[in-house]
Amino acid sequence: MGTAAATGVWGRAEQQDFRSRVRGTLLGAAVGDALGAPVDGLTLDAIREAHGAEGLTEPAPAHG
């Protein structure tokens, strides 16, 4: 019943668009989390001290 009710409110294209947006949001959050891991918890001053005045400009290892 959930699928039939959902297609009554939203068409197939709207469902696919919504699912695509949800996947994009989750992927964006995961990528942002991974890219931000090397500087997680650091202040701006600590980031600049460790990576120069420009801060982190290239991917860096999170551990090690």
Residue 20: predicted pLDDT:
94
Question: Mapped to the 3 state alphabet, what secondary structure does the chain carry?
Answer: CHHHHHHHHCCHHHHHHHHHHHHHHHHHHHHHHHHHHHHCCCCHHHHHHHHCCCCCCCCCCCCC
pLDDT digit string (tens) for 6-55? 556 778 888 889 999 999 999 999 999 999 999 999 999 999 999 999 98
Is position 6 within any domain? Answer: yes
pTM score, whole prediction? 0.61
> Does any domain span residue 9?
yes
State which residues form the domain around 45: 2-51
Distance CA(57)–CA(51), nearest Å, equals 8
Structural domain contains residue 56: no
In a domain, 46, yes or no: yes
pLDDT in tens, 26-40: 999 999 999 999 999
Structural domains of the chain, count? 1
Displacement of CA 15 from its chain's centroid (Å): 22
Cβ contact 51:60 at 8 Å: yes
